[in-house]
Amino acid sequence: MPQRDPYEVLGVSREASQEEIRKAYLKLAHKYHPDKTGGDKQAEEKLKEINAAYDILKNPEKRAKYDRFGTADGQPFTGGFEGFGGFGGGESPFDDFFDMLFGKGGRRGGAPRPQQGNDLELRLNVSLKEAAAGVKKTVRFSRMENCDECRGTGAAAGSRPEACSQCQGTGQVRVAHGFFSVSRTCPRCGGAGSVIGKPCRRCSGKARVKVSREISVDVPAGVDTGSRLRIQGEGEPGLNGGPRGDLYIYMEVAPHPVFRREGANIYCEAPITITQAALGAAIRVPTLEGEAELRIPAGTQSGTNLRLRGHGLPDLRGYQHGDQIVRVVIETPSKISRRQRELLEELEALSNPKNYPQQAAFNEKTRQYS
């Protein structure tokens, strides 16, 4: 089951304080408590989700990992789909990497803190057939990169950023606050610890420039509109040696002229003749892969749904495959020849009311209520 964003589950912003998170949790836990909902199954699932979300956000370390990696157990995604990683516990090599960057139990003092680069988002359109089979797509986007003229410093050639005089390069200033003094981000350098005297011409001192990029993306079979593909490390570069951000691709599956999709199943309609419906037949129907044979049993009524097993879409985990459901509709001939008229008249003369149960039931009801 795909895990929802814990912030979304608790309805709090990413900047929410621990106290705000705790309050939001208590409010929701109260609302979905079994005593209140009378053991409603959906409320129970909701409560489980709320508990799982709080479990991550109440713990600053887990929360920081979630913020950074999109999962609380620190397992890296490698272009996989959300929901596969899960929130299981356990050690991973990434924990060590995390500890190395930030030190166990908090960040290291002194050196500027490594920060992950910004995540990027884009939309990608695919057809229903591409969504069914999976497809390789080339996507183009632009992102900020470290300026290569100043090597990401923002300072013009021959000059370099100077240590900020207000904070002596620490990025923090101490401000007296009653009996205490508190640390604040330095207003002069914005916490960077350095200022640029002569800005680089290429990036105007911003240290970054916009660069367009093209990558090839494997869209797995089974995506739907709203599916989110995460490509790790394709976001913007990190700060102070931090990792790159990620690229999130939001899928949009175009509507199809013949097929309508509902989850993993697809639906379509096929017209058949009166005689095909009465005698039974095998007809060819379009499928996502091409064509398939659909057997119509003798005595099929108009509007019957017939199922082509396995001709729908796979689910994203690849465990199951949906079906194609064909609604057959009897089409009365719009014009008939003289010979056909004779045959149909003969058919009508020979018809036995017993073999038209719907008509018999209708007549019976009409008799009763008239």
Binding site for Zn ion (CB under 5 A): 147, 149-150, 164, 166-167, 186, 188-189, 200, 202-203
| The pair of three-digit structure tokens given for residue 198, joined into one six-digit string | 């002569």
Closest approach, Cβ 159 to Zn ion, in A, equals 11
Instruction: Name the residue with tokens 């789909």.
Output: 81
Considering beta carbons, is residue 72 or 196 the nearer one to Zn ion? 196
Q: Is 103 exposed, middle or buried (0-12, 13-18, 19+ CB in 10 A)?
A: exposed
Closest approach, Cβ 194 to Zn ion, in A, equals 8
Nearest Cα residue to 288 out of 135, 136, 127: 127
Closest approach, Cβ 166 to Zn ion, in A, equals 5
Considering beta carbons, is residue 145 or 252 the nearer one to Zn ion? 145
Those residues whose C-beta lies under 8 Å from the C-beta of residue 81, and which sit 6 or more positions away, are 220, 227, 228, 229, 230, 316
Closest approach, Cβ 164 to Zn ion, in A, equals 3
Closest approach, Cβ 155 to Zn ion, in A, equals 8
Considering beta carbons, is residue 22 or 202 the nearer one to Zn ion? 202
Closest approach, Cβ 200 to Zn ion, in A, equals 3
Closest approach, Cβ 237 to Zn ion, in A, equals 13
Considering beta carbons, is residue 56 or 186 the nearer one to Zn ion? 186
Considering beta carbons, is residue 188 or 284 the nearer one to Zn ion? 188
Considering beta carbons, is residue 150 or 288 the nearer one to Zn ion? 150
- β-pair type (324-331, 304-308): antiparallel
CA dist 338 and 20 (Å) reads 82
Considering beta carbons, is residue 164 or 219 the nearer one to Zn ion? 164
| The pair of three-digit structure tokens given for residue 75, joined into one six-digit string | 């397992």
Contact between 97 and 222 (Cβ < 8 Å)? no
